[in-house]
Amino acid sequence: MLKAFIITFLSFVLFQLAQAASVTILSPKTNDEFKAGQTVEIKWKLAEDASVDKVMIALASGPAQALLIDEVIENSVDAKSGIYKWKIPENIKPNPK
């Protein structure tokens, strides 16, 4: 049986740089912790004047100014939905602190 690791999310949702000002990430928050196997609701809000159709959701680590994508979770999510549910895989590697 796989041990459930606690995952610290330094940053979870990435958007293309040109779209970053149009999107506000509501959850998860920096340093939220989750266990493998848990379902996480990723939520965001678009600015009223946003012209974003799709967003990429990725697991990332590092300082906010230089995030590194560790894994793409979903490449093309409808931006207007404002929510994506992701079940954390049982075999995910913990994020080193």
- pLDDT average, residue stretch 2-12: 39
Task: Identify the pLDDT of residue 84.
Answer: 93
In the chain, DSSP finds a helix count (H) and a strand count (E) of 0, 8
Task: Identify the pLDDT of residue 21.
Answer: 62
Contact 10, 95 (CB under 8 A): yes
Q: In 10 A of CB 54, how many CB atoms? A: 14
pLDDT band at 95 (very low <50, low <70, confident <90, very high): low
Task: Identify the pLDDT of residue 49.
Answer: 83
d(CA 50, CA 56): 15
**pLDDT tens digit sequence for 28-63:** 887 788 888 999 998 988 888 888 888 888 887 777
